[in-house]
Structure 1
Amino acid sequence: MAGGKYNVGIIGYGLSAKTFHIPFITAVPEFNLYAIVQRHPKPGDDASKDHPSIKLYHSAEDLVKDDQVHVVVISTAPESHLHLAKLALNAKKNGTFLPFTPTAAEAKELTDLAKAQGVLLTVYQNRRWDSDFLTVKKYIEDGTLGRIAEFETHFDRHRPEPPAENWKAYNSPGNGAVYDLGTHLIDQVVYLFGMPQRITGFVGSQREVNPHGLEDSCTVLLHYDNIKMLATVKAGVVSPEVNQLRFWVRGVKGSFKKFHLDPQEDQLRKLGLKPGDKGYGLEPEEHYGTLNLVKGGEIVSEVAPTITPPTYIEYYRRLAAALAGDASQIPVPPEQSVGVIRLVELARESSKLGKTLTV
């Protein structure tokens, strides 16, 4: 630590770094935004101008040579994660990024390397701290819904036009809906219920015009034979709905249905709110979910207020605690994320073969 703080170096200076990392790193007292790798700064997009106190590097190789860097955040295209993470871990830097890697074998390699080097490795599953997910988690854990028979988690949007011409439009390793949104949604299911016994995947494109073959949509069925539950993970780009379904959870004592996404991303990207600002992370009442409960042999309905979340800042709070020596606070154990990437691989294989596979 330097001056009682962990110095953070970020590789990449795009949307992910600006929106999902820097606002939370700078909000946690234990961290210092120390350095950023930006290969080609431009007028109006220059990390050194936006953050005058940082060191600006033009290569990841130069960043990891800096002895003052304690934590490396990788916010680049997924196919670069293995190479960049190995650079950081071999230099004995702690690391975090999302998605993990294109393959479970690569993810396992990095997990083993981090252990061998004696450093901390975690994966940026910030949506474990979505307000609506934490509301669902509460109702499941306190028994409100009883034994869960079906769990649906959705991230559907209506974007049928061809994707914007950038790296995200190409069908490259680690890219596409099942890696992008799917890893968040699958992680939420695995976090609640563990690994399934079987998996059925439908991975492909819903767009009529898709020049680069991007896998823009996915539906993944996770079969929990041990608890007699089916989990559905869905992310599509053809969904012309005013109110997009987010969660639909059905149990023997009741159900929970929720529309609309957690507000944090829109607040960060569109409204310019930051952690600590008034209203940040809070969902408007008109977006609350609905509880249907079995009472006295009848089903009654009531509004289900969204809980006040700790927000995505909790990820970095826990990371700071883990770096200080409390292993129980690691935000996302990498072993869990190896399992998530394995499920992504199996979903794509299931889709290609047209059959359900054993996990």
Structure 2
Amino acid sequence: MSSKILNVGLIGFGLSGRYFHSPFLSTNPGFKIKTVVERSKNEAQEFDPNIENARSTDELLSDPEIDLVFICTPNDTHFPYAMDALENGKHVVIEKPFAATESEARQLADLAREKGLILTAYQNRRWDSDFLTVKKLIAEGKLGDIVEYESRYDRFREVVPTESWKEKKVPVGGNVYNLGPHLIDQALVLFGEPETVTAEIRTVRPNSEVDDYFDIRLGYKDKLVIVKSSLMVYENKLRYVLHGTKGSFIKGGLDPQEETLRKNILPTEQPWGIEPEDRWGTLYSKDFTGIIESEAGDYAPFYQNVYDAIVNGAELDVKPEEVVRTARVIDLAFKSSEEKQVMTY
């Protein structure tokens, strides 16, 4: 076990920086949050008074002591900030979306490879309770060969909040870029690259400026994979529906980690990531029909893997080439929806 401590810089301290990254970084002995970029506020010091402030990204990136940078800023800044960080010799973790396009994603991956730096995306939903449960059921063969997979991530936001940039018509905005990377990444982890991409992307809420509904279908020779999201679903219990040659699995609810972190509870609190029983899914099959207890979710392995990749040369769990393929699907989804055509992957 290496005793090396990585100095971390966070660019941005909103929901992502404050409630996702800081709790896990601060409780992992391999990391020290050294500096946070906040233009005018000092909210990082409310979390930990030992954290330093930087008033610009240039100030942070010019610090030779910073080893690793987390980019937690509005979507359209991810690509330029990541390029700057890599050019300054920093390892980089980028919030989703990793980049606006497949081309940008490839440029980042190529630059990181050229400089010998670790680059990854924060695909934390691979460590959600529900996804770990689905992954285990498939691996154990409980469903047989999957013929249809549907994953949804719905919310109900009837009143469009005017103060959030996420609800503005801005570059790299909208629900496809916000929730799409999670659902697409999970599907690609399970089934690999598809043959086709077909999508319907819409604005369904009155007065909405952004796409707030998507239905993206990934075509495979032996299965159909559907990922959907709407911000106009009042009863959003449906999360996963899987049908296979041996049975079906239906599950609702969301992983509890985000709601726990928002209560200022650190991930060292035990038990961690345990789903309430009313969120557990049901398996229907000839061999067994009944409730399946969910696996415990835990985002901590993502951070440990980043540490091990930087310090010990371990293989990344979320590889740049995997992030590139997610960006490709998003590109094709927008094109499919616009042209009303099935796109070849």
Residues 354 and 303 of structure 1, relative CA distance in 2, 3 Å threshold = same
Corresponding position of 2:167: 169
**One-letter code of the match for 2:124?**
N
Corresponding position of 2:107: 109
1:247 partnered with 2:240: yes
Corresponding position of 1:236: 230
Equivalent in 179, 182, 185 of residue 184 of structure 1: 182
Distance in 1 (CA, whole Å) between partners of 2:73 and 2:143 is 40
Aligned 8 A contact 1:150 1:251 in 2: yes
TM-score, length of structure 1 as denominator length? 0.92
Aligned 8 A contact 2:199 2:217 in 1: yes
Cα-to-partner distance string for 1:300-319 (whole Å, 9 max, x where unaligned) = 5211110123x011110111
Gaps in structure 1 of 5+ consecutive residues: none
Cα-to-partner distance string for 1:66-121 (whole Å, 9 max, x where unaligned) = 11000000000110111111111001100001210111101100100011111110
Aligned residue runs from structure 1 range 190-201, under 5 A: 190-201=188-199
Corresponding position of 1:313: 300
Corresponding position of 1:120: 118
Secondary structure class of the residue paired with 1:196: coil
Corresponding position of 1:37: 37
Corresponding position of 1:158: 156
Distance in 2 (CA, whole Å) between partners of 1:85 and 1:29 is 25
C-alpha RMSD over aligned residues = 1.5
Corresponding position of 2:217: 221
Offset at residue 272 of structure 1 (A): 2.7
Larger CA deviation: 8-17 vs 271-280: 271-280
**One-letter code of the match for 2:89?**
K
Equivalent in 268, 288, 305 of residue 276 of structure 1: 268
Cα-to-partner distance string for 1:7-59 (whole Å, 9 max, x where unaligned) = 00000111110011101111211111111000111xxx532343221221001
Aligned 8 A contact 2:149 2:241 in 1: yes
Offset at residue 266 of structure 1 (A): 1.0
Residues 89 and 341 of structure 1, relative CA distance in 2, 3 Å threshold = same
Aligned residue runs from structure 1 range 30-69, under 5 A: 30-41=30-41, 46-69=43-66
1:77 partnered with 2:74: yes
Identity of aligned residues (%): 39
Corresponding position of 2:258: 265
Gaps in structure 2 of 5+ consecutive residues: none
Aligned 8 A contact 2:12 2:38 in 1: yes
Distance in 1 (CA, whole Å) between partners of 2:237 and 2:94 is 28
Distance in 1 (CA, whole Å) between partners of 2:206 and 2:50 is 47
Aligned length: 343
Distance in 2 (CA, whole Å) between partners of 1:55 and 1:162 is 35
Equivalent in 305, 316, 323 of residue 310 of structure 2: 323
Offset at residue 252 of structure 1 (A): 0.5
Aligned 8 A contact 1:262 1:283 in 2: yes
Equivalent in 284, 289, 298 of residue 281 of structure 2: 289
Secondary structure class of the residue paired with 1:324: helix
TM-score, length of structure 2 as denominator length? 0.96
Corresponding position of 1:202: 200
Aligned 8 A contact 2:18 2:44 in 1: no
**One-letter code of the match for 2:304?**
R
Equivalent in 297, 301, 311 of residue 289 of structure 2: 301
Distance in 2 (CA, whole Å) between partners of 1:220 and 1:35 is 39
Aligned 8 A contact 1:14 1:75 in 2: yes
Aligned 8 A contact 1:274 1:280 in 2: no
Larger CA deviation: 64-73 vs 45-54: 45-54
Corresponding position of 2:323: 337
Cα-to-partner distance string for 1:260-296 (whole Å, 9 max, x where unaligned) = 0111111111x3322021333101112210000124x
Larger CA deviation: 48-57 vs 285-294: 48-57
Aligned 8 A contact 2:98 2:105 in 1: yes
1:358 partnered with 2:344: yes
Distance in 1 (CA, whole Å) between partners of 2:54 and 2:82 is 17
Distance in 1 (CA, whole Å) between partners of 2:213 and 2:16 is 21
Distance in 2 (CA, whole Å) between partners of 1:324 and 1:124 is 19
Offset at residue 204 of structure 1 (A): 1.9
Equivalent in 316, 332, 338 of residue 346 of structure 1: 332
Aligned 8 A contact 1:157 1:244 in 2: no
Distance in 1 (CA, whole Å) between partners of 2:161 and 2:229 is 15
